[in-house]
Structures are given as C-alpha cells and as structure tokens.
C-alpha cells in the first residue's frame, strides 16, 4: 500500500508544500519584526527608565554623616565630643519575619517595650530597603553577644556610629544644651539633604544655637551592590565635612568652682568679662546630665526630671526671672545723681518710711534704722529709707528709664536660644496689662528692686559689667571662636570693634566708690566677703522677698517654709579700677544676699585672679628662661 | 580534497551556524562570570555537535525516511523508560542513564516527531485527509504527553509545534486548522487547570510582572532591566551589571539572551536576529529546492521549529511570552540541545545536497 501511494504524493505535493513554506516564511518574518519591535521598545523607547532601574539595582548612594563639631571651653577643655558606640540597625526587606527577629534580638540583648514601639513607628515611615534603628547604644557585653549571633539574623546589622558625648556631664549642661534624635516636627523644618545620615540635632543651648556651625556637611559614597545586597565596592566617595570646632568663652574650671560654691542650693552664677562681654561662667543649679538626652530620653526619666520641684532642666542663669532687690541700688544712685540731687543730702532713717498723706510704713531692712544717711552711706549700708525717699522724688518713669538703659528687662543678646526679656514696669505697662493705675507706693517697692520688676541673672551680670565699664554696655557672648575643620582656620566670633556709647553721661565714679565701700568699709553690707581680698571689689548685695510680709508681721526665717525664704542676690566686679570680671549671683531662698550670695562671688573671683596670676607667672618664667 | 558538495554540506548555512555558535561561546564566557572551564566545555560540545552534523549529512534522505518510524518507536520506548528508571535532575526526570552516556530521549524526539509525521503524511495523498491529520496528531501528542509528565512543558510544546508544522506544510485544509484551533480553545480551561501553580503564575506574570517584583515577576523584570538598560550600543562585553552582579537568574541557560542584549545593545540584537533569520531563510530556500516531499516537509519543519525556539526564547526573555524553559538555540549553555540542533542541520544539508538523486 505504501509503495502504491508514493508516486502519487510525489506528483501532487510540490506546489502545495511550497505555497505553505511561503506562508510560513511570511509568518516567521512577521514574528521576527514583532521581536525587533519589542527590543526597540525596550532598548530605545524605554531606555531611560530601564537604565534608571538598572542603576538603582546595583548602585546605591550611601550618605556618610558628618562628624559633629567639638565644643571646647576657652582653655581647650572638651565639653562636647563624639565617641563610637554600637547600635543595631534593621533593613526590613531582608528580614523574613519581623516578629521572630524581634524576639530573637530580645533574647540576645534585651529590648524594652519603648524600643520596640519606637522601632515599629519608624518602620512605618521608612521604605523597606532603608536601615531602621532598632537599638541604640549597646554595652560591651551586648555588642559581643550580638556579634557572635549576627549570622543568625539576616537583615539586622551591628554598626559602630559616632555618638555625642558630654564628658563634663552636668557641669555645663545648661549652656551646652544637648543633641537628641531629630523629631518629626524638626524633620519638617530641616533641609533633608543637609541631614543625610544624620540622626541627631541640637535641641537647646549652644548645640541648638550653633547647629549650623556644628553640623558639618554630609558626604556620599556611591557603592555597588550585587543582587544579594552585598556591598561590593565603593565607586566614588565625596567625603563628609566635619562641623566647626567651637571654642566657648566659658572656663570649665571657674564653672566648677561656681558649681561647688552653690552646692546643692538652687540658684545661678553668671560671670562675664566686662571689657568684651565674654561669659566666663554660667552656672545653674541644680543641673542634669545631658548624656541622658542623646539617644532620646525615655518618657519616665524625662517626666521625673520635669516633675522635680527644683526644675533641674531650667537654665536659671538665662531663663530664671527674679526680683533684683537692692542690687539695682547703684543704678538708681546714678539716676539720683543725674537728677541733680546732691550726694551729700542726707535722709534720716528711723527704720521705716511713710509717704506723705499715708500711714502705711515701708520698712528698712534694718529695723533700728540707719540714722542720717547720704547717697554713699545708703549704697554702702543698703539703706532702704534713703532710696524710698529718692524713689518718690524720681518717680517710676525716671527709674524705669535708667534701669532699662542698664539693660534690665531687655534681652542681653547672648548667643543662646529663646532668651526672655524680664520686666521693668511702667505706669503704661500696668495700665495696658492690668488696667490699673500706678500707685505712688509702687515707686517705693520698685526702687528697692521688688514688686513687678523681674530680671534674669544674665541681665544682672550685664548691668554689673556696664557699671564696671563706667557706663559702656557690652553684649555677653559665649562663642569665643570657631575653627573650620578642613582649613583649620580660626575665626573669632565677631565683636563690634566700635566701643558702644555709654548709657549714662555723668561719671559713675561716685557710685563705684560706694560699691567698693560695700565690700571694704567697716559698715559695708558685704564686708565679710571683701575681707582680706588682694584686689579691690565693688559689689552690691540684694535680698528679694518671695512673699509679702504684712504690716504688723516680722520676717522670721525659722518659721517660714524654705521655699518662701528670701532670694539672696549679689553683684560685683573687680578689680575696681581695671575690672576684669563682673559677676551676678542668685541663690533662691538663700536668705541674705550678703551671707548666701556674696561668698560665692568671692570664691569665683578668687579663683579667677589666682589663675591670672599663675598664668602671668608662667609667662614671666618663660620670659626669663626662654 | 573534500569540497562542501562532496561532504553534502551547505557553505552559507555552515558558516552562519559556526559563526552563531562561536558567538554563543563568547556570550557564555561573559554569562558564566568569565569562567574558562564553562566556555571550554561548551566548545567541546560544539565540536561534537559539528561532527554529528557532518555524519548525519551523509545519510541519504531515503534512508532517513525509512528509519523515521523506527526512530520514533525507539524514542517512545526510551520516554517510557525515563518515567520508570529515569534520572532526576532539577526536579524533573528527563535523563536515561545508558552507562556510558546520559541520554535525554525528549531531545531525540525533537527530531523523531517531525520525521515520523513527515513519513506518515507522505504515505498518503496530499493535502492530508482528516484521518491522516488525526493520525499525525496522535503521533505528536503521545510523546508530548510523556514529556509533560516528566515534567517538561517547554519541550512538550516544542514537540507539538514541530509535529503541527509538518501537518501545516503538508497542506492541511484551512477548515481542519479551524477545527483544531476550536478544539484547542474548547479545551483551554481544562488545560489551564492541569497546569501547576507556578506555571499558571508565570502566565499571569506576563500581564503584570511588577505585581510581584521579588517573586514570580523577578526574572522577567530583571531580564527586561538588563535589556532596556543596554540602550542602542549596549554596556560592552563583560560589562553587563545586571548579569555580572547576579540579578539575572539562569543567565547562562534560558536567559542568556538577556546577557547578550545587555552587553551588545540593540545593534547586537538586530545582528543576532538577522543571523537567525538568515539561517531559517536559507533552510526554507533549501526546502523549496528539494524535489521530494518528505525532504521538503522535514527541512521546512526543522527550520521553522528552530525559528519557533528563537521566538519563544526571545519572547520570554523580553517579556511578551510567559516563562517556559526553552533555551536559546545554539547559544544557551547545555550540550544536548546543541547536539540535536546540529544533527538536524546535518540532515537538512544532506537532504538538500542529494535533492537530485531523489527524482
């Protein structure tokens, strides 16, 4: 059968098959064109898209965070630095099961509920291929424990990062402030490109004030990775630029002396160099450890710190507002002189004062009275009655005017964030805020630095420096110089070279003489603190009432709770003829300014001049042997 | 001493094939991560395959025709053998260990099926009757079914296609084609349900590979990125980041074209496709020139199947066809496929060289 059919098929077939071959050829050609079109579409029309995808695949930009600038005191003592610590980071897309991973990490190094919660909230905000912080600051044991188990936890990496560290702890915390993790509200405000790879930001103090100087500029490393996410090599690197090193005007040693002198009392000490406004010491007590804030303080500790009655977080030197008490008397005395009242004019002090047409008695601090006192004696012995009389004559407007000229009630412009202004009251102010008229009695309260008058220790220090400068005001400043990290160039912070105009026209010598008498005359209120001083001091004590004392009552420390005791204040500068330091001390509820505040100032000044002498001795020696 | 004619070879076709295979070695060197061993091993396979081509070119068409049914039966037995005593590799049972060589019966069937169908159809009158079409369908589907069980869907599809091409070339009537297509459409839901989950997924992935970029869409996406990122001129030999950084799975076998396209760009793709089209076209011309129907059907079927391989592979790599395990002919790493193809080209050359003797 097969043999029969063969010839016929041979005879019929050729044309049919040839036609089909032609059809098939056309079909194959068409399919080839479809393929070519497909490749044209991929390689030409969509080239850009796929090229980007390809680069994304294997080239990653890794931000190299800059090293934050150091902060040093005026002598080079390190106040803020960066140390390496270990942290745990997670790349979510590489983790098979987040829950299982969290449990495993918890078993190895322990995770607090707060850490897990923070991790989960970060997890939601970041793409799965980005590193998310799981645990900050592992101790040595945790680091070692995790390191040997790291291979079991793909996607979790142990990394060494630089971490802000404050070696002086609580000593300068109020001035320095601290850095903390960038919050959501801060994230909205910062330039993301400037903060690539940066985890923390200055929250308060100098760290906040000079954030832009300290930050530096992030660098970038372009790295090639393979399909498994392993980094193969660095293609290019754009180094990060470290932040500026900041030298502060503070003297850590002086700071320590002031801290120790304050002890465990609440209060503030501010010392500035009158000639240029450099803040030598700025202490607020009690204090806190800024290192607690660097990794994000936990709510419990923070609440505890905030809840404390002593309020250790508040920088009293800048934000504390106090009635200045008698410390303003030298300034008032100058106003008296300016008003043309003779310094020889005496006022008889029986221990109290009454306004004409009134029976209300305004007490002098000395119950038995000072007898007849002139201006010099009134400052020296802080006679309230003399000043009541002069306050009545001057009137509030003139007093407010001179106090404001000496910088009370206005910001000092010190380079710290959010400085408050305090208050020098005027009748206009009282009308505007309280809708009450000004009473003549309020002149008397104001003249002894009580009542509505509210100043900060920083303002008092500036006022003292202005007195020391014989009326030439200075602007306090904390930044001494900045050193550029790359060039090593040191730039002093800009101080206006032009001397400011004096705030008063007449000579302040007479007032300063009286202030010197406060320290060195046998009747001076702070004579105990001026005794055996190798240098001349001009000072003024102050005691500010915290509660009102009724007409028929006595102020008796022994029966009043401590928190209602008077605030003790003291201002001073030295040496009198060529002042190098001006200081303001406030001791909350310290009682008498002479007893509680003046000794602190003396200790700080002693240390200050002792160091000056030592340095001079070293220089002399060098001069001799060099 | 030996001219091409006396060896029954075809000059243009031989040159194109050798050029293509040599290019394959170059691409494999890159795709293997610059591994000399891999390239040399493939080179040896190429040599063996060329020898097989030379030998098969000497077999007269009449002998091929007479051997067709026997070869088919042997292949069928071997396929059954694979299912019973086969050797598994990569989850599929495809190999038969003959002691000396491991042998893949499904590869033999790639030649045996079109030969058997051509033999069957040339026994009757052309264009084939409905009965003949049904018989050819049986001859195709039975080995394809055995291959599907292995499982090797890709090869099974290629077997069916090669058999059907013979039926098409033999002049099957258009209304029979319609009936077959209707039957296929009717059984589509059933076939779909018979597919494994991963196979269904591969077909679905075709419509939206980015739906599961790290799962079933990964291969397709990464291959497309490799191809697309090459642009017109390519990234240069050994410079393909997608392939060298291991983003492309199966990069020396089924997805080798992605490597080629990434490194040589659209220009390379055009040249390679042209080379393939030339080979297929040359074979179709040869089919046109032969005098006997068996040779004509077989040459046409082998050439068009070769083209179909190319189309399926490029379609899959470029994301217009689902991922089926079909290697790029003559370039993908692997010996058996190359041996079969070269043997087929040997037969083509032999049949063409002896076209006068048949008349």
- Provide the residue ranges of all domains of chain A, joining segments of one domain with +: 60-248, 252-302+310-481+498-617
Q: Is the pLDDT of residue B206 over 80?
A: no
Distance (Å, whole) CA B262 – CA A400: 82
Give the end of a domain, one of B168, B194, B220. Answer: B194
Give the end of a domain, one of B162, B194, B226. Answer: B194
Confirm whether B170 is domain-assigned: yes
pLDDT at B90: 59
Tell me how many domains chain B contains. 2
Residues B122 and B90 in one domain: yes
Residues A169/A126, Cβ–Cβ less than 8 Å: no
pLDDT at A298: 74
Picking from A608, A574, A570, the residue whose alpha carbon sits closest to that of residue A250 is: A608
pLDDT at B324: 80
Residue A281's DSSP bridge partners are A271
Residues B265 and B346 in one domain: yes
Residues B187 and B239 in one domain: no
- What is each CA distance from B181 to B140, B154, B164, B177, B200, in whole angstroms? 16, 20, 12, 6, 21
Confirm whether B187 is domain-assigned: yes
Mean pLDDT value across residues B225-239: 88
Q: Is A284 a catalytic residue?
A: no
Question: Is B293 in contact with A13 (Cβ distance < 8 A)?
Answer: yes
Greatest mean pLDDT among A60-64, A176-180, B29-33, B187-191? A176-180
Binding-face residues of A in 140-169 toward B, CB within 8 A? none
Contacts of B296 in chain A (CB under 8 A): 13-14, 17-18, 21
Q: Which residue of B has its CA nearest to A224?
A: B245
Residue B229: phi and psi, rounded to 5, are -75, -10
Picking from B81, B74, B108, the residue whose alpha carbon sits closest to that of residue B96 is: B81
pLDDT band at B213 (very low <50, low <70, confident <90, very high): low
Which residues fall within 8 angstroms of residue A282, CB to CB, at 6 or more apart?
A174, A175, A250, A255, A268, A269, A270, A271, A315, A317, A318, A458, A478
Question: Is A43 in contact with B269 (Cβ distance < 8 A)?
Answer: yes
Give the end of a domain, one of B149, B166, B194. Answer: B194
Residues B123 and B176 in one domain: yes
Task: Give mean pLDDT in consecutive 10-residue pieces for chain A, a chain of 626 residues.
Answer: 41 74 94 94 89 78 85 94 89 84 90 87 75 85 88 84 90 93 86 84 94 90 71 77 93 95 94 95 93 80 81 92 95 94 94 90 91 95 95 94 94 93 93 92 92 95 95 93 83 68 86 95 93 94 81 72 88 95 95 93 95 83 64
State CA B274 to chain mean position distance.
Answer: 17
Domain that holds residue B128: 75-194
Distance (Å, whole) CA A232 – CA B210: 27
Confirm whether B3 is domain-assigned: yes
Distance (Å, whole) CA B121 – CA B137: 11
Which residues fall within 8 angstroms of residue A94, CB to CB, at 6 or more apart?
A154, A155, A229
Instruction: Choose among B125, B265, B276: nearest Cβ to A9.
Output: B125
Instruction: Choose among A16, A20, A46: nearest Cβ to B228.
Output: A46
**What is this model's ipTM?**
0.91
Residues B46 and B146 in one domain: no
User: In a 3-state reduction of DSSP, which class is residue A481?
Assistant: strand
Residues B256 and B359 in one domain: yes
Residues B237 and B90 in one domain: no
Confirm whether B115 is domain-assigned: yes
Report residue A262 as tokens.
């304050």
Contacts of B269 in chain A (CB under 8 A): 36, 39, 43
Q: Tell me yes or no: is domain A252-302+310-481+498-617 CATH 3.40.710.10.
A: yes
Catalytic residue among A285, A326, A382, A529: A326
Asked if omega into A575 is within 30° of 0 (cis), the reply is yes
CATH of domain A60-248: 3.90.1310.10
Q: How far apart are the first and last CA of chain B?
A: 28
Binding-face residues of A in 54-83 toward B, CB within 8 A? 54-55, 57-58
Contacts of A19 in chain B (CB under 8 A): 171
Report residue B325 as tokens.
């395990």
Residues B127 and B235 in one domain: no
Q: Is the pLDDT of residue B5 over 80?
A: no
Residues B227 and B348 in one domain: yes
pLDDT at A1: 37
pLDDT band at B101 (very low <50, low <70, confident <90, very high): low
Q: Is the pLDDT of residue B323 over 90?
A: no
Picking from B118, B116, B113, the residue whose alpha carbon sits closest to that of residue B169 is: B118
Distance (Å, whole) CA B44 – CA A597: 99
Q: Is the pLDDT of residue B227 over 60?
A: yes
Q: Is the pLDDT of residue B153 over 70?
A: yes
Q: Which residue of B has its CA nearest to A6?
A: B123
Residues B48 and B146 in one domain: no
Interface test with A, best of B61, B62, B68, B126 (most A CBs within 10 A): B126
Residues B101 and B177 in one domain: yes
pLDDT at A292: 87
Question: Maximum CA pair distance of chain A?
Answer: 157
pLDDT at B4: 56
Residue A73: phi and psi, rounded to 5, are -85, -175
Question: Is B296 in contact with A21 (Cβ distance < 8 A)?
Answer: yes
pLDDT at A564: 83
DSSP classification of residue A194: G
Picking from A409, A452, A467, A419, the residue whose alpha carbon sits closest to that of residue A323 is: A452
Q: What is the pTM of this model?
A: 0.65
pLDDT at A9: 43
Q: Is the pLDDT of residue B330 over 80?
A: yes
Residue A366: phi and psi, rounded to 5, are -95, 105
Confirm whether B129 is domain-assigned: yes
pLDDT at A243: 92
Residues B1 and B100 in one domain: no
pLDDT at A278: 95
Question: Is A17 in contact with B296 (Cβ distance < 8 A)?
Answer: yes
Picking from A86, A133, A138, the residue whose alpha carbon sits closest to that of residue A109 is: A138
Positive or negative: CA dihedral A549, A553, A555, A557 = negative
Residues B152/B79, Cβ–Cβ less than 8 Å: no
pLDDT at A11: 42
Mean pLDDT value across residues B102-129: 89
User: In a 3-state reduction of DSSP, which class is residue B92?
Assistant: strand
């Amino acid at each position: 059968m097969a043999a029969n059919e063969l010839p016929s098929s041979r005879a019929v077939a050729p044309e049919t098959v040839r036609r089909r071959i032609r059809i098939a050829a056309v079909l194959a050609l068409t399919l080839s064109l479809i393929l070519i079109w497909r490749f044209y579409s991929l390689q030409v029309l969509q080239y850009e898209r796929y090229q980007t995808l390809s680069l994304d695949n294997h080239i990653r930009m890794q931000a190299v965070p800059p090293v934050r600038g150091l902060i040093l005191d005026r002598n080079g003592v390190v106040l803020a630095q960066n140390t390496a610590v270990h942290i745990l980071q997670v790349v979510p897309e590489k983790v098979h099961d987040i829950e299982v991973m969290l449990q495993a990490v918890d078993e190895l190094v322990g995770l607090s509920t707060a850490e897990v919660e923070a991790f989960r909230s970060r997890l939601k905000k970041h793409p799965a291929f980005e590193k998310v912080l799981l645990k900050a600051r592992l101790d040595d044991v945790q680091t070692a424990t995790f390191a040997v188990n790291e291979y079991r936890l793909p996607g979790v990496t142990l990394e060494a990062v630089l971490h802000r560290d404050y070696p002086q702890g609580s000593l300068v915390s109020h001035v320095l402030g601290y850095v903390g993790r960038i919050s959501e509200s801060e994230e909205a405000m910062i330039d993301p490109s400037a903060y690539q790879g940066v985890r923390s930001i200055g929250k308060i103090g100098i760290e906040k004030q000079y954030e832009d100087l300290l930050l530096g500029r992030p660098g970038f490393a372009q790295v090639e990775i393979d399909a498994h996410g392993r980094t193969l090599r660095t293609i290019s690197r754009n180094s990060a630029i470290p932040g500026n090193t900041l030298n502060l005007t503070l003297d850590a040693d002086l700071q320590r002396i002031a801290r120790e002198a304050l002890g465990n009392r609440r209060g503030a000490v501010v010392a500035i160099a009158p000639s240029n406004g450099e803040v030598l010491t700025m202490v607020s007590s009690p204090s806190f450890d800024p290192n607690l804030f660097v990794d994000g303080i936990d709510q419990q500790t923070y609440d505890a710190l905030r809840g404390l009655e002593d309020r250790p977080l508040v920088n009293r030197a800048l934000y504390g507002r106090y009635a200045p008490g008698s410390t303003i008397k030298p300034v008032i005395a100058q106003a008296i002189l300016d008003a043309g009242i003779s310094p020889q004019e005496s006022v008889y002090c029986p221990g109290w004062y009454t306004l004409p047409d009134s029976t209300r008695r305004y007490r002098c601090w000395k119950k038995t009275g000072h007898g007849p006192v002139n201006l010099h004696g009134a400052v020296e012995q802080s006679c309230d009655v003399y000043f009541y009389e002069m306050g009545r004559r001057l009137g509030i407007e003139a007093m407010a005017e001179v106090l404001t000229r000496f910088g009370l009630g206005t910001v000092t412009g010190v380079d710290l964030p959010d400085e408050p202004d305090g208050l020098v009251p005027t009748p206009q102010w009282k009308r505007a805020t309280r809708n009450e008229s000004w009473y003549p009695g309020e002149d008397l309260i104001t003249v002894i630095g009580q009542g509505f008058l509210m100043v900060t220790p920083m303002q008092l220090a500036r006022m003292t420096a202005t007195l020391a400068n014989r009326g030439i005001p200075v602007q306090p400043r904390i930044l001494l110089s900045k050193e550029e990290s790359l060039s090593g160039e040191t730039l002093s912070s800009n101080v206006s070279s032009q001397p400011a105009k004096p705030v008063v026209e007449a000579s302040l010598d007479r007032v300063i003489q009286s202030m010197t008498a406060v320290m060195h005359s046998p009747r001076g209120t702070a004579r105990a603190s001026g005794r055996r001083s190798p240098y001349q001091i001009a000072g003024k004590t102050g005691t500010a009432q915290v509660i009102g004392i009724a007409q028929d009552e006595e102020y008796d420390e022994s029966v009043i709770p401590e928190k209602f005791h008077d605030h003790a204040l003291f201002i001073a500068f030295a040496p009198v003829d060529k002042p190098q330091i001006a200081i303001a001390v406030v001791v909350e509820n310290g009682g008498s300014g002479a007893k509680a505040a003046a000794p602190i100032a003396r200790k700080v000044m002693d240390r200050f001049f002792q160091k000056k002498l030592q340095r001079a001795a070293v220089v002399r020696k060098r001069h001799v042997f060099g | 001493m030996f001219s091409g004619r006396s060896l029954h070879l075809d000059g243009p076709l031989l040159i194109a094939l050798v050029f293509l295979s040599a290019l394959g070695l170059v691409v494999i060197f890159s795709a293997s991560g610059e591994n000399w061993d891999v390239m040399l091993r493939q080179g040896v396979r190429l040599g063996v395959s060329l020898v097989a081509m030379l030998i098969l070119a000497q077999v007269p068409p009449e002998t091929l025709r007479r051997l067709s049914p026997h070869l088919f039966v042997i292949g069928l037995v071997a396929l059954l053998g694979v299912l019973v005593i086969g050797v598994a590799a990569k989850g599929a049972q495809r190999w038969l260990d003959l002691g000396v060589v491991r042998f893949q019966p499904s590869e033999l069937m790639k030649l045996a099926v079109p030969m058997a169908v051509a033999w069957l159809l040339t026994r009757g009158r052309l264009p084939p009757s409905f009965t003949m079409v049904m018989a050819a369908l049986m001859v195709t589907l039975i080995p394809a079914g055995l291959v599907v069980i292995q499982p090797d869907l890709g090869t099974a599809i290629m077997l069916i296609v090669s058999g059907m091409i013979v039926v098409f070339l033999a002049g099957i009537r258009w209304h029979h084609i319609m009936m077959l297509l209707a039957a296929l459409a009717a059984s589509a839901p059933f076939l779909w349900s018979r597919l494994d989950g991963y196979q269904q997924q591969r077909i679905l992935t075709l419509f939206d590979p980015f739906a599961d970029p790290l799962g079933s869409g990964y291969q397709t996406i990464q291959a497309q990125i490799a191809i697309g990122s090459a642009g017109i001129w390519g990234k240069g030999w050994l410079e393909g980041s997608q392939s060298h950084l291991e983003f492309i799975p199966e990069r020396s076998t089924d997805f080798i074209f992605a490597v080629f396209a990434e490194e040589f760009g659209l220009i390379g793709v055009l040249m390679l496709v042209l080379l393939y089209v030339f080979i297929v076209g040359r074979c179709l011309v040869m089919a046109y020139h032969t005098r006997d129907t068996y040779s004509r059907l077989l040459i046409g079927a082998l050439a068009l199947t070769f083209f179909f391989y190319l189309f399926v592979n490029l379609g899959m790599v470029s994301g217009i066809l689902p991922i089926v395990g079909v290697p790029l002919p003559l370039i993908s790493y692997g010996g058996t496929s190359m041996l079969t193809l070269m043997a087929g080209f040997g037969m083509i050359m032999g049949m063409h060289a002896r076209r006068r003797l048949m008349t």
